[in-house]
Chain A
């Protein structure tokens, strides 16, 4: 479903969930969390819920939802491409999909040489 080179993509299944959450909560953002129990997962919040500044990197936009990651973390992640998907499950974070009994999850692959040239050089 990607037409141009991007760092992030989303599956059909996950985009349906995003649309469902948008109709309930309005404008949203994704933030990629770091480690620990419920971490290393994309979390989705109402736009404005989380304080963002230049320590956060904008990776792209999916279904009109901006996808951010902390800059320190990005340094270790920037050579990989992320696809947002969903899985059955729960988490203790404040991410808005949790009450639906699902979690967003990422699948990763290495950027191709060409993608890497465009995105990182």
Chain B
């Protein structure tokens, strides 16, 4: 089964105060598809004035939206989920065209997961309760959650609709109004969503601004009428956003990079069964989404007594991955999201070779069909080396994994934690003790145990160390978007006696 490039209008607007509007300056930028580098459409090159308009619209809407009954907010979130689900194929195609990822991923992962996140927050907001404590027989403390106000959200290009769906539903469920800036590389699915849900929410509740980081992102992140900033991206921009937030004394949440270890203990090869097959796939998941995932299992740690046998299976499975036309349902590895991303990955493959890492699979650009030769394709690449090499330490954000061996549990944990980051990790074993002790010893916010790359809405996700702070998905996310109102009530008729 095969699809083809979807149709687009010539240009699109920002979505502010319930309508699509042109950018104030009248300037647009061209957005290209990484599949074949063809033009998709023009999107607004927004500037400070556009951001001000969006923030003003959100501020105007926040009081009444914040007082909307939770049942109504939940109903609207569910409505969005239904709309995305009904148009799943259209969203999947747009996402593949804009990002380069294969259609089998957008149809089976991005879009269904996005739908589920909207439904999850529609559910939990209704099941939640505040708290009441009797501090003494005359004193009662009541905690009520109140929305924080206007939230700025800046999202990345690797899972455009899914990252939007991680960020918008909890903020809206908690009663906030939002100004969201999609990445300029992938503005399309956010725009399509707003076309389809334009009338679902009152004007000003959701506002979408397109444009470049220095021109639109910075005025949004530093805006004095924004009450909270949520960011997914890299460390330098994260630091800048925290600086701006410090001027406004705003809370922030940061989801930054990773260099996740995926650890395979010898027991995985104790029998040749379905679990071994699953484990081999788990190692090859470094190529999922072309490696453009902050939790990409980009360091492969294999116990030395199974290293050769296990690696030969991983290499064979990697080489069998079908790469090319992202619109074909059989394709497993598509295009990198942009030219600069493509160049950056090739540059890392180059330094890996110069540092003496051995290429076990791939190792360069991929040859694809002539129709896609202007697109950005890189072979899934396996390096073998040691953890001090730069390819083991830096987030490449491409389909590149670096393999090394370890002697025992102690060494596995040492290598796993020898990194600046702490976002994700994988632990694979048939030993029940290892399955508990090793994940507890790894300094990362999410440890997948005998699985990898699962992102259910019901499990919290976020980083340790330089991977950021705050959690996404899960109901604990709601508190990142709320203030706690404590009402401290005295039922005592008598005065204190001080005055």
Contacts and interface: CB of A to CB of B under 8 A. Distances in A.
6 smallest A-B Cβ distances: which pairs? A35-B257, A35-B395, A89-B340, A39-B234, A33-B236, A36-B257
Given A35-B397, A93-B237, A88 B355 contact: no
Contacts of A43: 236-237
Given A103-B340, A110-B354, A90 B184 contact: yes
A50 to B, nearest CB: 6
A94 B218 contact: yes
Contacts of B232: 36-37
B344 A49 contact: no
Interface of B: 45, 154, 156-158, 183-185, 212-215, 217-218, 232-237, 239-240, 243, 256-259, 292, 294, 338-341, 343-344, 347-348, 350-351, 354-355, 388, 390, 393-397, 420-421, 466
Contacts of B341: 89
A77 B388 CA distance: 9
Contacts of A57: none
Contact of A105 (B218, B235, B340, B396): B340
Interface of A: 31-41, 43, 45, 49-51, 70, 72-73, 76-77, 80, 87-96, 98-99, 103, 105-110
Contacts of B338: 89-90
Given A36-B235, A110-B354, A98 B420 contact: no
A116 B45 CA distance: 45
A61 B236 CA distance: 19
Contact of A35 (B213, B214, B215, B421): B421
Nearest to B389: A76
A98 B218 CA distance: 13
A95 B157 CA distance: 17
Contacts of A91: 185, 213, 340
Nearest to A42: B236
A76 B234 contact: no
B252 to A, nearest CB: 15
Contacts of A90: 184-185, 212, 338, 340
A72 to B, nearest CB: 5
Contact of A36 (B185, B234, B390): B234
Given A88-B340, A94-B213, A37 B396 contact: no
A109 B351 CA distance: 6
Q: Which of B185, B256, B344, B397 has the most CB of A within 10 A?
A: B344
B400 to A, nearest CB: 12
Contacts of B397: 35-37, 39-40
Q: Which of B184, B233, B396 has the most CB of A within 10 A?
A: B233
